[in-house]
Amino acid sequence: MKTVTTEFNIDALRSAFPILDTQVNGRPLIYLDNGATSQKPQSVIDAIQRYYSEQNANIHRGVHQLSQRATQAYEDARETIRVFLGAGNGYEVLFTKGTTDGINLVASSWGRKNLQPGDEVIISTMEHHSNIVPWQMICEERGATLKVIPIFDSGDLDMDAFDALLSDKTKMVATVHVSNSLGTINPVDEIIQKSHAVGAKVLLDGAQSVPHMRVDVKAMDIDFYTFSGHKIFGPTGVGVLYGKEELLNAMPPYQGGGDMIEKVTFEKTTYNTLPHKFEAGTPNIVGGIGLAAAIDFVNQYDPQALIDHEQDLLDYATTSLLDLKGVKIIGTAEKKASVLSFIVDGLHPFDVGTLLDQQGIAVRTGHHCTQPLMDRYGIPGTIRASFAIYNNRADVDALTKALSKAIDMLS
Binding residues for ligand C6P, rule: CB under 6 A, are 35-36, 98-100, 128, 130, 176, 180, 205, 207-208, 228, 364, 368-369
Contact 217, 89 (CB under 8 A): no
Q: Give the shortest CB-228-to-ligand C6P separation in angstroms.
A: 3
- Closer residue to ligand C6P in complex, CB, 207/398: 207
- Closer residue to ligand C6P in complex, CB, 128/171: 128
- Closer residue to ligand C6P in complex, CB, 228/382: 228
Determine whether 65 is exposed, middle or buried from the number of CB atoms within 10 Å of its CB (0-12, 13-18, 19+).
Answer: exposed
Contact 401, 320 (CB under 8 A): no
- Closer residue to ligand C6P in complex, CB, 217/363: 363
- Closer residue to ligand C6P in complex, CB, 100/125: 100
- Closer residue to ligand C6P in complex, CB, 96/400: 96
Q: How many helices (H) and strands (E) would you count in the chain?
A: 15, 17
Phi-psi map region of 256: left, alpha, beta (phi>0 left; psi -120 to 50 alpha): beta
* Annotation says 139 is catalytic: no
Non-local CB neighbours of 161 within 8 Å, separated by 6+ positions: 149, 150
Q: Give the shortest CB-102-to-ligand C6P separation in angstroms.
A: 8
Q: Give the shortest CB-339-to-ligand C6P separation in angstroms.
A: 8
Q: Give the shortest CB-210-to-ligand C6P separation in angstroms.
A: 10
What kind and span of H or E run contains 262?
strand 261-264
Sign of CA dihedral 102, 337, 38, 350: positive
Catalytic-labelled residue, pool 137, 161, 261, 369:
369
CA 388 to chain centre: 13
Q: How many residues does the chain have?
A: 411
Non-local CB neighbours of 53 within 8 Å, separated by 6+ positions: none
Q: Which residues of 23-55 are buried (b: 16+ CB within 10 A; e: fewer)?
A: eeeeeebbbbbbbebbbbbebbbebbeebeeeb
Closest CA to 239 of 162, 160, 181, 292: 292
User: Which residues are annotated as catalytic?
Assistant: 369
